[in-house]
C-alpha cells in the first residue's frame, strides 16, 4: 500500500505522523511543527515514530538477563 503525504502529496515510505487517517512524511511533519502537537493529549495528530522506552529505569530485568 502506498502512502502519500497529506501536506505535499509525495509518496512517503515512513510517515512520521498521522493527522486523522492521513499520513505526513517526516520532513513535512517537522516543517509544519506537527511533532510537538502529536505529544499533546487529545490531539488528532498521532506520532508514528517509535517512543523511546527507558529500560534501565525499570525494575524488570531484560529478557534473558541473569540476576547478579
Ligand atoms: Zn510531505
Whether 4 and 12 have beta carbons less than 8 Å apart is answered as yes
How far away, in angstroms, is 41 Cα from ligand 1 center?
A: 24
pTM for this one? 0.67
- The DSSP string of 6-51 is TTT--B-SS-SEEETTEEE-HHHHHHTTHHHHHTSTT-SEEE-SPP
Q: Per-residue confidence of the chain (68 residues) as pLDDT tens digits? A: 789 999 999 999 989 999 999 999 999 999 999 988 888 888 889 988 765 555 665 566 666 666 66
**Cα of 34 to ligand 1 centre, how many Å?**
12
CA of 53 to the centre of ligand 1 (A): 28
Distance between Cα 4 and ligand 1 center (Å): 8
Question: What are the boundaries of each domain within the chain?
Answer: 1-48
Give every CB contact of residue 28 below 8 A, 6+ residues apart in sequence.
Answer: 5, 6, 7, 8, 34
Amino acid at each position: 500500500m502506498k502512502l502519500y503525504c497529506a501536506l505535499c502529496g509525495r509518496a512517503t515510505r515512513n510517515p512520521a505522523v498521522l493527522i486523522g487517517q492521513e499520513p505526513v512524511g517526516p520532513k513535512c511533519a517537522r516543517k509544519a511543527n506537527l511533532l510537538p502537537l502529536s505529544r499533546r493529549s487529545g490531539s488528532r495528530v498521532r506520532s508514528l515514530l517509535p517512543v523511546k522506552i527507558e529500560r534501565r529505569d525499570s525494575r524488570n530485568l531484560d529478557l534473558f538477563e541473569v540476576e547478579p
